[in-house]
Structure 1
C-alpha cells in the first residue's frame, strides 16, 4: 500500500505518524515536506474534503498568527487562499492512502487508513 504524508520534520506528531507508517509492513511511504513543496490549492481542497473536514477545521492555530489574522472566521475561499500562500497555516500531518485521508492528530488516527 502507498501512503503519502504531508510532513513537517519539526513537528513531533508528524514525526510519530511517519514512524508508524515506516514501521507498518507493506507500506511504501512518500513523504512531502509541505513547507518546502507547498500544497496546490486543488490538492489542499481534496485532502480537507476527503478527511471530512472544513477548511476552518484544518487551520493550524498553535505556533502561527492564524487567529490574529482572523482566519478561523473567514470564508472557505479566504482560508484556502491563506493556506495556499502560507502552508504553515495547515494543520499537520495529512496522510493519504487508498483507504482514505486523515488529519493525523493524534498520530494513531493514521491506523484507520492502513
Structure 2
C-alpha cells in the first residue's frame, strides 16, 4: 500500500505517526511540507478526502495565525494562508488507499494501515 505523510520532524505527533507507519512495515513517502508546501488545490483535495474543514486543518495556536488575523477567516482565506505559510498546516496528514486523516493523536494512523 502507498502511504504518504506530511511530516514535520520537530513535531512529536508527526514523529509518532511516522514511527507507527514504519513499525507496521510500510516505508512512506515523507513530504517535508514546510520545505515543499502543498498548493491550494492539494489542500482542497486533502480536505475533501478527509472530511475536514480548513478550520480543522489550520494550526490556530501558531503565532502567524494571530498575526495574520485569521480567527474569523473564511475557508478560502485559510487555504491561501496555509499555502503561503505552511507552518499553519496541522500535522501529520497521512494519505493511503484507505483514506486521508489528520493523525492527532498519532495512533489515528493505524486506521489507515
TM-score between the two structures when normalised by the length of structure 1 = 0.93
Q: Provide runs of 4+ in structure 1 moved above 6 Å.
A: none
Q: Which runs of 5+ in 2 are unaligned?
A: none
Higher relative contact order (CA 8 A, sep 6+): 2
Aligned equivalent of 1:78: 77
The change in CA–CA distance for 1:66 and 1:45 in structure 2 (over 3 A counts) is same
Q: Do residues 7 (structure 1) and 4 (structure 2) align?
A: no
SS where residue 32 of structure 1 aligns? Answer: strand
Aligned equivalent of 2:103: 104
**Correspondence 1:12-91 to 2 at 5 A:** 12-25=12-25, 27-91=26-90
CA contact (8 A) 1:56 1:72 kept: no
- Per-residue deviation at 1:67? 3.3
CA contact (8 A) 2:100 2:112 kept: yes
CA contact (8 A) 2:6 2:31 kept: yes
Paired residues, number? 113
TM-score between the two structures when normalised by the length of structure 2 = 0.93
Distance between the aligned counterparts of 1:20 and 1:112, measured in 2?
A: 11
Provide the aligned C-alpha RMSD in A. Answer: 1.2
CA contact (8 A) 1:104 1:110 kept: yes
Q: Which runs of 5+ in 1 are unaligned?
A: none
